[in-house]
Amino acid sequence: MTEKFELTNQTIKKEFLSLLQTNKFYKLTINQICNKANISRITFYRHYSDKFELLEDVNNDKINVLQNYIRQRLHEKDISRILLQMTKFLEKDAGDLKQLFKINKIENQSSLEDKLKDLLQTEFSTYITKERSKTSIRDIPVTYLSELYAANAAIFIKYSLQSGTDQKLVASLNTMQTLILEFLKTK
């Protein structure tokens, strides 16, 4: 990709997210996106086949950033620092993320929330499976633990988007993760 192509792509994404602040995704048109990004329809179609592909790309960008925090979170005994970094990211991108989380019924693709839960389940499952070779998991199925972890983490993320950083909650989640991981290591 050329620098100009990438710059145009970033402009399309930025203006798309801007339009989502005042427009519902399903009512948003390619013409609106093009006008806001100051590009032609031909230029738009050089980048994306439709607004669903654009949404998929934007969601993947957000998931890639969150993935870094999630991976770090699982490998730290004290997750407070990582949770604070994650909530700062969430606060910075709160407007965009809130709008993206509202889009939940998408043609042939996963929503941001679905992608987040899948990521959380996969990361935790991989971590636990790796740890399982070293420790007992007290006969609790990894899939159950992964879904439980994903639900808790997704709730934290959504809560942080709505309410901002809560230091007491971060400290409590740190204690909870430590206790759960210690519980899983004992027989």
Write the DSSP string, 31-64: HHHHHHHT--HHHHHHH-SSHHHHHHHHHHHHHH
Given this model, what pLDDT does residue 132 score?
61
pLDDT in tens, 124-177: 888 777 766 554 466 777 788 778 878 887 888 888 888 877 788 878 887 887
- Residue ranges of domains in the chain: 1-48, 57-185
pLDDT in tens, 25-61: 999 999 999 999 999 999 999 999 999 999 999 999 9
In CATH terms, the fold of domain 1-48 is Arc Repressor Mutant, subunit A (1.10.10)
Given this model, what pLDDT does residue 109 score?
84
Better-scored residue on pLDDT, 185 or 143: 143
Given this model, what pLDDT does residue 158 score?
81
In CATH terms, the fold of domain 57-185 is Tetracycline Repressor; domain 2 (1.10.357)
- Taking phi over 0 as left and psi of -120 to 50 as alpha, with beta for the rest, 135 belongs to beta
Q: Are 92 and 161 in contact (CB under 8 A)?
A: no
CA atoms within 13 A on the CB side of 106: 23
Give the distance, in angstroms, between the CA of residue 110 and the centroid of all CA atoms in the same chain.
12
CA atoms within 13 A on the CB side of 93: 19
pLDDT in tens, 3-32: 999 999 999 999 999 999 999 999 999 999
